[in-house]
Every structure is written in C-alpha cells, then in structure tokens.
Structure 1
C-alpha cells in the first residue's frame, strides 16, 4: 500500500510533464528534446524564487512562464530559421544548461527549511505523501481543465489541425508557424511546471535532474495509449496521468527488488522500448490467430 500511494503521488507530479511531452509528440508530431532543459529550468527558477522569499505558488507560476519562454525559442528556431525539430531541441537544451547554472549560481539549490506547497499542507497536520497527493491532484486537474478549454477554442482546434495536416491547414488560412510556436510554449511551460513541483517535493533543484526527462514522458504517454485506445482529447489526457502513475509504480517495484538506483535510467529505456513495441506485437499476434483460424 505504501508503494502504491507513493507511486500515485509521484506519478501525479510527473504526469504534468508527460502531458507537456504529449502536446509536441502527439499533437504536433514533434519529438522535442527541449524537455531535457526546460524541466531543470522550472526547478531552478522555482527553487531560487522560494529561497528569495517568494511564495511557492508564485514561484511555480514563474517556472511555468520560464518554460514557455524556452519553448518559444525552440518554436522560433524551428519555424523561422527552418532548423529541424530534433536539432532545435538539442540546441535549446544545450543553451539551457548554461542558463540554468546562471539562474542557480551553482550546480544545485537546496530547499531545506524553506516553505514549499507540500510543507504548507504538512503544517495543517497532513503527512508528506498525502500533501504531495493533494498538490499533484490539484495541479493535474487544473492543467487538464485549462487544456480542454483551450483546445475547444478556435486557436486550439487550429493547433490540432496543424499537427494532423500542416499543408491542408495552411490552405485553409491557418498560420501554422504560429500554431507550432504556441504548441512549443504550452508543452515546455507544463514541463517546467512539473520540474518546479518535483523540486519542491524533493527539496532541491539540481542541474542534472532533466536527464532522461523525455524518456519518462514518452513512456507515460505510450503506456497510457497501450492501455486505452480511441479516446477523446480530455480522456486521453487522463490516460496519460494513469500512464505516469503506472510508470512510477513499475520503477518503485524495480527498486524494491534491489536494483541499484544508477540502473533506473536503463530500466526506463527498457520500459519505453517495450511500450513502443507493444502495438506491433499485438498486430503480429492477431495475424497469427487469423491464420490459425483459417487453417481450422
């Protein structure tokens, strides 16, 4: 039960990042590596702001804005300078490493003794896991609601249309470059917000905490898609949350089996590879069953 509660609370915080990855990976059909830099960017901005005396909520919102600015840079590089999406992410991610160091002034910033959203709830007598669960649930609920409302607007529909068929969207008068930039901003804003929440939960921000972020996000998205098929946009966002929780549960179980923490990144890659290959394996199994039925 302790492992399950821990997985749910951690999964909720990570699912905000996974939703951000989903926006570029599925909506815009772009694998954006900016996530590796915008995640620690959010942690850096939030931690430095809290240490400077800013409230945790405002600090988290500042992290959101910082991530959106980073996303706008990637969007401009990709759309205006016509740099391929993969290289764009690498360029921005590399630049953000130095920017994050500048913001923190050192390799890591501790939040020991500082007021965070989790500690604020703990002051009311809640235990740590329950506090994390409440913060994560509120954050996820707000994110899903805002995205649902946004993608129901004309701009949101234009953004989805751009990802589905860019040429047709341009023919219908949609400014696809602007839609891509908005998509980049939304994605990296959420990823940065997740970094801020994770930093508050962990009690520190570290320059290397973004390594493997894209793998975690993609694994959460793919796991959710493997479990649930053909859903509406709002329901798909919920399945991403479920995917993030399942992913954290798998990682926690692996740790309980005695696997060394330094091997977690390896297991994360293996989980993603299995999740990505599952649809293909299902198709092969169906073909085999069909052939067997014909022979009978």
Structure 2
C-alpha cells in the first residue's frame, strides 16, 4: 500500500497543480465577491475543448491557451450579466451558462472528444523531453502556477483588485464611494472562469485529449481543495487567500491517491468528497445554532 502511494505521488502532484486553477477559480467569486458560481463546471471543459479544436487546426499552443482564457472570461461575464440584469440567483445563472456551454463544446470540436498529438502542445514547444518525464512536467506546472499566484496577488493589491474586494465586502455601499458594483462583479466572474478555462486547456495538452464531460464533478473537487487549503494556512491576508487553493489542491489529490492506494473504489470518491464538503460547510452553522440556543436558555 505504501509503495503504491509513493508511486502515485508525482502523478497526483502534477494533477493537483493543474486542478489548482479550478480551486483558484472557485475562490474568486466565493471568497472575494461573496457570490457562489457554478459556471466553472462549464468553463473548465470549454477551455479544454477550445484548445483541442484550435491545436488540431494548426494554431500554436500559446495562442490556444489565450483563446481558452478568453472563452472562459466570456462565460463568466455571461453568468454575471444574467445574474445582475435578469435578477437570477448566481447559482442558477451559473447552471444555465454551464448547461449551454455543453452544446457550445460539441459545436467547437464537432464531436464528443478529440485527441491532441504531443508535438502540438506547449510542453513539446518548450522541450520535447518534458512529456517523457513527470518531474519535468511538475517543474513547468509549478512555475506556471507560481506566476499566476504572483499575478493574482498583484491584481488584488491594485486599484481594480481593491475595488473588487470592496464590492465583495459590501456591494450596496460600493456605489456610494464611486465603485461600479456591477462592473467589478462582472470582472470578477470573468477572471474566475478565465482561470478555470486555462486549467482545462493545460489538462488537454498534458493528457492528450479533450472530452465534453471532462468538467463533471470538478466543482466539488475544487471546493474541497479550497476548504482544505484554508484550514491549513487560513485566509487572513491576500497572500494566504491566494495560496490556500494551491496548497489545498496538492493535499486533496494526495489524499485521493492515498485512498486509492488503500483499495478504495474510484466510484466512491465523489460520494466521500461531497460528504466532506457538506460536513465542513454545515458543521459550523450547526455549532453556532446550538450555541445560540444554549445562550437563549
């Protein structure tokens, strides 16, 4: 069992670095804007499908990732606009957009799945040997995640980032101090889903294929990673808040690896992850409720 777990460590480490983009995407609306968003489950495969389609059509990998980010950004903007102008709950708006994206993905690829040859990917463009060594992939992915983390921290400290955080803290008060709450909410949703789409584009290039169902269950996994990361390092500062999803993703996927090494059936993982998220989110509310009842008595 121990040897099996050790053998899986590098594979799950590479996987966790890629899926940390999803955890970051969930963190932006959930923590910064205090608005839950389910569009991630659609924007992640959208990024992958867009990347696969344009890579096989002859576009370079860097442009394919930029296109994926743009597609995810538009998906996030769509959710924000539906939420704000049609007065539809952000969760329902996200479900609607994610559902529509499924049809878009089929149109983009022309089929449910599409393979991508290794020589078309960013990994091969940097060095053909990278795809042959898992540790080379890990080093490249870690560098990319590090750049995104530094960029997000700098963004949150900028004027736009401060306005975004202000909207999340008090959307009703923001207009009184000259901040357009609708605009910055839209930017936040777009940023989040752009990150998710980037993760999808990287996954496709690493695993060599795209599938329209590749986003199924990704939201719960990302939320579990976010919760674990915040439990480990907290979210008292901007740096901690941005790094928490990365740490959580690494720990979460290693826990998944450990579970598989002990003989846990892969089909049980979704059930256990969902139960973990439910308990983590619900337990504090139950504790507060009991404390209030005790105080009233």
| 1:73 aligned to which of 66, 72, 78 | 78
Matches within 5 A, 1:1-296: 1-120=6-125, 123-124=128-129, 127-276=132-281
Is contact 1:34–1:89 with CA below 8 Å preserved after alignment? yes
User: 2:3 aligns to what?
Assistant: none
Residue aligned with 1:44, SS: helix
Deviations 1:245-277 (A, max 9, x none): 011111111222223333332232133234435
Question: CA-to-partner distance for each residue in 1:272-296, whole Å, 9 max, x for gaps?
Answer: 2344356569989xx9xxxxxxxxx
The CA distance in 2 between the partners of 1:186 and 1:113, in whole Å, is 29
For the structure 1 residues 129 and 177, does the alpha-carbon distance in structure 2 shift closer, same or farther, using more than 3 Å as the test? same
**283 and 134 in structure 1: CA distance in 2 versus 1, 3 angstrom threshold:** farther
Number of equivalenced pairs:
285
With the length of structure 2 as denominator, give the TM-score of the two structures: 0.89
Q: 1:217 to 1:230 in 2, by over 3 A?
A: closer
Q: Any conservation in 2 of the 1:50–1:114 contact (CA below 8 Å)?
A: no
- Structure 2: runs of 5 or more not aligned: 1-5, 292-297
Query: What is the rounded CA distance, in whole Å, between the counterparts of 1:282 and 1:228 in structure 2?
Result: 22
Cα offsets for 1:164-222 (capped at 9, x unmatched): 11111122121000010000100000000011111111211111111112111111111
Distance in 2, matches of 1:178 and 1:122, equals 41
SS of residue in 2 equivalent to 1:205: strand
Verify the 8 A CA contact 1:144 1:237 in the aligned structure 2: yes
**Contact 2:256 / 2:269 at 8 angstroms: preserved in 1?**
yes
Structure 1 residue ranges (4+ consecutive) displaced by more than 6 angstroms after TM superposition: 280-284
Note the aligned Cα RMSD (angstroms).
2.1
Question: Is contact 1:148-1:233 (8 Å) kept?
Answer: yes
- Secondary structure of the residue aligned to 2:173 is helix
d(CA) in 1 for partners of 2:278 and 2:124?
A: 37
Q: CA deviation at 1:74?
A: 0.8
